[in-house]
Structure 1
Amino acid sequence: MHADNTLVFSPLTVTATRNQQNSRLVSSTLINRQDIERKQLNSIEQALRGIAGINIVNNGGLGKNTSVFLRGTESDHVLVLIDGVRTGSATTGGAAWQHLPISEIESIEVIRGPKSSLYGADAIGGIIHIHTRNAAGSTSAINPVIAVGGGNYGHYKLEGGVSGAVDRAWYNAHLSYQANEGFNSCAGALNYGCFTNEPDRDGYQNYSGTLRSGYQFTDWLSLEGHALYSGGETEFDGSFVNEGDFAQLVYGGKVTIQALEFWRIELSGGESRDGSTNYLNGVKQSIFDTQRVSFSALNNFSLAAEHFR
């Protein structure tokens, strides 16, 4: 308890055991919205840097190809969930970290260590669970938010939204835009891995938004839905392509049924889509399109009063 009599609770994660659990009982790290705003983070890559067990490789700055490695495993051995929906590309096997907008994120759970017994082969190294902005538990009907920011390399961002709760319902809607003129990430030196000389600035722009709402029908039945969209274009140096358009869409829903005092049922499902089109001097060169559909039925039993529910 703080001096102002405010109660401070230990962080809770829901990913480690697929049920709410005290974070101190597992090797985990929780990054919340307050951390993101306090540190003025511009990307998920920045949020994850410095966390124990995580190594990140980025190919040229904001919006450029990014890979995340957890506890020495491959980048496709990290299961990435967005509001419980599995995400990832069929081409790389990993998530498109560089295009996930941190302005639309409420919290990030990092669970280190193998969790394949609960989540399958994707979770050999661990799990990173991203939760979009959420107004559940709000005490106000309308909570507007607006933010403007800027930085070097012509970087600026705009964001705004509204959230709140009315009676048994809660909602959140948020939009954001950011752009960056970038820098010349490849000067043509072969010893630096560059195979072309393109003396230009490799810019980036991203349009994104989230919707999330829920309703508590009765004491034993609740329903919620969510959606995340991120799209835009990025420029880069390469021998075969030098710019690309991208779009990501993740949406899903969840039904929670408190069947008995000690028995809770959670039914959830959703789909993630990851698409990109690459160009060379304005001519289309390649198209990638990934779709992943997932469903889950989870039964939670509380066998004793001390058992986490």
Structure 2
Amino acid sequence: MKKSFRLRARAFSRLSVPAISVLSLTMTSWAQAQTIEINPVVISATRVEQKLSNVIPSATVITRAEIERAQAPTLVDLLQGQPGIEIGRNGGPGTYSSIFMRGQNSNNVAVYIDGVRVQTDSIGALRLVDMPPNQIEKVEILRGNMGAVYGDSAVGGVINIFTRAGAGSFGPTASVSYGSRNTSDVGLGYNTKGEDFRLGISVHKFDTDGYSAMQHSQNPTTVNPDKDAFKRHSIFLNGEKMIGKDLAIGFQINNIESKADYDSTSNPKWGPASTNDKQNNKQNSSDVTGYSKFNLSTAWSSRVGLTESKFKNSDFYNGAANGQFDGEQRNIQWSNVYRLGHGNVTFGADGTNTNFKTTTEYNRKSLGYYAGYSGLYEKLDYQINLRHDQVKSKSTSTSIDKSANTWLLGLGYLLTEKFKLTGLVSTSFRAPNTAELFDVPAWGTTGNLNLKPEEHKGLELGASYATELGTLRLVRFESKTTNAIAYKSGTPSYENIGLVENKGYETGFSGVSNGWVYKLSAVHQDPINAQTGARLARRAREYGSIYVGKTLLGIDWGTQIVASGNRVDETRSLESYTLVHFSAAKKMTPEWTGRIKIENAFDQKYQLAYGYDTPPRGVFVSMQYQPK
């Protein structure tokens, strides 16, 4: 661990707890003690409900209470500081973002929203920036190889997002916030239910003047130093109807529109940009899902779902159109759970048909079949998964077929009532995406039809200690990637570069003691290109976060520290950083809650991508109405 990173983290950790106590003396009120959900129910690891303490893979849950406390403008902001996750971003909210899990590339992550895989563009970039956090009920994060459960690209991990459809209180809801950089966030919703149905609707509007996306001092002659704004409007609808005791049908509909100003060092003709140039990006996405859930017997439950997604990405340069990307995706899922013996059998199939269009049309079809068995017998937890995937990519008259078989074996053993050992071995894969296989004239890249699928192997060994006050877990992880696909800048094209490795340790703790709430994580890793020994771009060797909270004088006070060691970005260096956020929440009545957050309280200057700015200090105030 670098000395500078270690000293800064220690300094801020000494500062944070006294700071909460000093601030708390300035206000008086009442409230219940702050709590944390130590052992929530999750379903992501096996597709079956189980307590977090029984999950064999490394997992974390972001609860609704944590989401409200974070007051994050986007999903990417919410994920920053979570165990096993690093972020790269080209500016502020709404700009191009990357998620690195367990040191893997950003296209080696699978993201699901209410069980439906998030649409990607032709280069595998996830459509993440548009998801409003105030529409999220919880997020389950699985770290490591999960390809045998979720298929293609589930290599670094899986992020499973559950929206507020059918969750929370019934009746009207409202929230409004305002803060630095003229940032406003307004949400309205209404949920109702009857004896055999439920309906819900919510609308959201987010606006911020932002800040300059690129660091002007690092690009003094090519970057416009003006503020880069971001706007997002969204609507969500959902409903479900019971038909008898064994059948339910439902729907979910959403539409999200956003506009993000951004900076670039080049113009549309690949020449240098001007300091007067104005560039922005508009996105529109929609999803329509229909599903049916039914019990075939007392032991067998099944679900069938169909989702139609559309995505439009339009770019503008000084007010003129500068390229457009369109995507359509159809996804069908059939999932089953059958209770057998001491565990559950899971099996099913999922298929996706995606069309991409720039100046050229592309198509990608995937079909996967899976089966698994998981359960608990006396002191032994077990999980076995098998999966077969087929991926077919097409451009004009050229078609490329890839397939893979993946597996996972996990075991956990309870040595005592509190102490548990776990082990997991797994394989996964990523098939080349259409932009890697085929020429993309609009982007000036050349495809490589000879690309092989990436193949991944993972190993985890863990130990956990759990009491009613908290849970501590330590994990040793290793991953090896063969046929890793990398960008070849000279051509520009893509190539298989051989072996990529990552080895490291991950520790996490969440608990409550004497009215204090704690949640912390720390990662030490070494993600490298084994052929050259070079560290992978934008990934630190050490990073982590700490949250400390307590209720004093009726107010929930909190401090979060997010720290990262240095990183490399091509030939440049990104310095280590430590961010400190303060928060406070007060229940005015059983229905009304007021919140305040000081983001980046000490105005730390840092970068997540070379040449790009990050948020300076900001203060944000919000009010929320939630019926009891």
TM-score relative to the length of structure 2: 0.45
| 2:301 is aligned with 1:264 | yes
Distance 2:149 2:165 in 1: 25
Which among 218, 236, 240 is matched to residue 267 of structure 2? 240
SS of equivalent residue, structure 1 residue 96: coil
Structure 1 residues 128-170: Cα deviation after superposition (integer angstroms, max 9, x where no partner):
111221225x6x7x51011110111111111101013211111
- Give the conservation status (yes or no) of the 8 Å contact 1:135–1:165: no
> How far off its partner does 1:17 sit?
1.4
- Give the conservation status (yes or no) of the 8 Å contact 1:105–1:133: yes
> How far off its partner does 1:187 sit?
4.9
Structure 1 residues 27-75: Cα deviation after superposition (integer angstroms, max 9, x where no partner):
2111122221123232212221221111111211111111111111111
User: Which amino acid counterpart does residue 129 of structure 2 have in structure 1?
Assistant: Q
> How far off its partner does 1:96 sit?
2.5
> How far off its partner does 1:234 sit?
0.9
SS of equivalent residue, structure 1 residue 81: strand
Aligned to 2:538: none
> How far off its partner does 1:278 sit?
0.2
From the superposition, tell whether residues 187 and 300 of structure 1 become closer, same or farther in structure 2 (CA, over 3 Å).
closer
Aligned to 1:179: 207
User: Which amino acid counterpart does residue 254 of structure 2 have in structure 1?
Assistant: L
Structure 1 residues 67-98: Cα deviation after superposition (integer angstroms, max 9, x where no partner):
11111111111111111111132233131322
| 2:320 is aligned with 1:283 | yes
> How far off its partner does 1:19 sit?
2.2
- Give the conservation status (yes or no) of the 8 Å contact 1:269–1:294: yes
Identity over the aligned pairs, expressed in percent? 25
| 2:46 is aligned with 1:14 | no
From the superposition, tell whether residues 34 and 194 of structure 1 become closer, same or farther in structure 2 (CA, over 3 Å).
farther
How many residues are treated as equivalent by the alignment? Answer: 299
From the superposition, tell whether residues 177 and 11 of structure 1 become closer, same or farther in structure 2 (CA, over 3 Å).
same
- Give the conservation status (yes or no) of the 8 Å contact 2:121–2:127: no
SS of equivalent residue, structure 1 residue 75: coil
SS of equivalent residue, structure 1 residue 45: helix
From the superposition, tell whether residues 28 and 253 of structure 1 become closer, same or farther in structure 2 (CA, over 3 Å).
farther
Distance 1:194 1:45 in 2: 28
Q: 1 or 2, which has the higher strand percentage? A: 2
SS of equivalent residue, structure 1 residue 234: strand
Distance 1:100 1:126 in 2: 19
User: Which amino acid counterpart does residue 267 of structure 2 have in structure 1?
Assistant: F
Alignment of 1:116-195 (within 5 A): 116-135=147-166, 142-189=170-217, 192=218
Runs (4 or more) in structure 1 with deviation over 4 Å come to: 305-309
| 2:263 is aligned with 1:223 | no
Alignment of 1:199-210 (within 5 A): 199-210=225-236
Distance 1:253 1:113 in 2: 31
Aligned to 2:124: 93
> How far off its partner does 1:290 sit?
1.7
Distance 1:41 1:199 in 2: 25
> How far off its partner does 1:232 sit?
2.1
User: Which amino acid counterpart does residue 213 of structure 1 have in structure 2?
Assistant: G
SS of equivalent residue, structure 1 residue 153: helix
Distance 1:69 1:298 in 2: 28
Distance 1:287 1:16 in 2: 37
SS of equivalent residue, structure 2 residue 91: coil
> How far off its partner does 1:250 sit?
2.2
SS of equivalent residue, structure 1 residue 122: coil
Structure 1 residues 284-304: Cα deviation after superposition (integer angstroms, max 9, x where no partner):
011011222211112211013
> How far off its partner does 1:194 sit?
7.6
TM-score relative to the length of structure 1: 0.89
- Give the conservation status (yes or no) of the 8 Å contact 2:296–2:302: yes
Distance 2:79 2:157 in 1: 14
Aligned to 1:23: 52
Q: Compute the RMSD of aligned alpha carbons.
A: 2.3
- Give the conservation status (yes or no) of the 8 Å contact 2:90–2:214: no
Distance 1:15 1:118 in 2: 9
SS of equivalent residue, structure 1 residue 42: coil
> How far off its partner does 1:222 sit?
1.1
From the superposition, tell whether residues 92 and 99 of structure 1 become closer, same or farther in structure 2 (CA, over 3 Å).
farther
| 2:197 is aligned with 1:197 | no
SS of equivalent residue, structure 1 residue 46: helix
Which runs of 5 or more residues in structure 1 are unaligned? none
| 2:294 is aligned with 1:250 | no
Distance 2:219 2:149 in 1: 40
Distance 1:67 1:130 in 2: 17
Greater gyration radius:
2
Aligned to 1:304: 341
